[in-house]
Amino acid sequence: MRKNAENANILQPGESIQQIFGAQTTSAYLGGLSPLMMLFVNGYRVVVVTDKRIIVTKSGRLTTTPVKGVDRELPRSFKFGEPNGLWHKFDANGQTLHVARRFFKDMEAADAAA
């Protein structure tokens, strides 16, 4: 994911990546109820935390494919909050994003560095 974000020309000059992790726009629990619906509703995002801002980028429908552009930006002072359970959700300027447990350490590191 890191190489994809670096190659997507989303960084400003002098900006450096601190953390990077995947997220999705729909709860994974929906996939358990209706995998077909998950294909139409879900979208993957790559969250890039830099020293200046937090960038939420567009990715694929089925997986976190190479970054396809900036979806929205958050101020670097933004806190993801204390993750718990299997999925953590947070509001990214009007869009709820769901982050899998395997990325909790990345979110905690981003909050600690803010």
Show me where the domains of the chain are located. Answer: 2-113
Q: What is the pLDDT of residues 16-68, one digit of tens each?
A: 999 999 999 887 665 555 566 656 667 889 999 999 999 999 887 777 778 88
Q: How confident is the model at residue 78 (pLDDT cuts 50, 70, 90)?
A: very high
User: Where are any strands of DSSP class E within 6-102?
Assistant: 17-24, 44-50, 53-58, 70-75, 87-92, 95-100
Count of CA atoms in the C-beta half-sphere (13 A) of 54:
23
CATH 2.30.29 assigned to 2-113: yes
